[in-house]
Amino acid sequence: MTGDEQTIDRVRKLLAIAESTANEHEAEAFAAKAAALIAAHRIDPARLTDDGDVLAVRDVPIGRGAYVRARLALLGAVADAHDCELVWRSGPTGATAVLAGFTSDLEATVVLYHSLHAQAAGRMAVGRRSTAAATQRWRRAFLFGYAARIGELLADTRRRVERDARWAAGGGALPELVDRVARVRVYASGAFGRVVAAAAPAPAARTGWQHGQQAASAADIGRGRLLGRRQLEPGRS
């Protein structure tokens, strides 16, 4: 049995105990330990009954125009939090992000990215300046600031989840998670092929950036994935 399989087996046993005990305090304690392990090791609920989580590549259309690099920054922030590797390419229909990772992490990344992008777009739409060009510059800077803050919030939440998981596991390291990250990187290096560095994006306007940071702090970065608990908490917490 691999380390990943051992973790899933342990989660199944913890859940079984939680479901079988008549003591509600014991049930909550075992369920909490299981939830911490699931979150720390990025275990999708489906994997508890089906070991179908595999390494894969997924394309995410980004489009064209002034906001492409800012959208990529937002997707990259979410991908980093879910241990997915990202590159992008340009084509006749615009830019396309290419993600590599485990299928459950890819799905979580894409769902959360689209939610966050929709939330940002709603806030950006009300931001207008004296000219169309100025409005576009402001909105671009807004989205860059938003993406940067989302990355900070997701990283903070991940550190907290992993700390709680270590406590639940007896204070030890999480070697299975380290192995999972390494496997994604090796897979991505082969799946992506030759990759060249893109030119740095143009600087973002300070005012728009700050408004984007503020909006991200109030964004909902959570999605229910397991045991009725939020894997990633609201930004304002």
How buried is residue 21: exposed, middle or buried, by Cβ count under 10 Å (0-12/13-18/19+)? middle
When the pLDDT of each residue in the chain is averaged and rounded to a whole number, the result is 78
From the list 135, 156, 19, 130, the residue with the least C-alpha distance to 67 is: 135
Name 57's bridge partners.
100
Ordered by start, the domain boundaries in the chain are 3-48, 55-230
Q: What's residue 54's pLDDT?
A: 84
- Residue 18 vs residues 28, 40, 206: alpha-carbon distances, Å: 7, 19, 51
Q: What percent of the chain has pLDDT over 70?
A: 72
Q: How far apart are CA 13 and CA 20, in angstroms?
A: 11
pLDDT in tens, 168-185: 556 555 556 667 788 899
Q: Is the pTM of this model over 0.85?
A: no
**What does the pLDDT profile of the chain (237 residues) look like in tens digits?**
455 677 777 877 776 776 566 666 676 677 667 767 776 766 655 555 545 578 999 999 999 998 999 999 999 999 998 899 999 999 988 999 999 999 888 888 888 898 889 888 888 888 788 899 988 999 999 999 999 999 998 888 877 777 766 665 565 555 566 677 888 998 998 899 888 888 788 778 778 889 898 889 878 775 333 223 333 333 332
Instruction: Give the per-residue pLDDT at 46.
Output: 55
Tell me, rounded to whole angstroms, the distance of Cα 153 from its chain centroid: 10
Q: Which two tokens stand for residue 59?
A: 């394309």
Tokens 């909006």 belong to which residue?
215
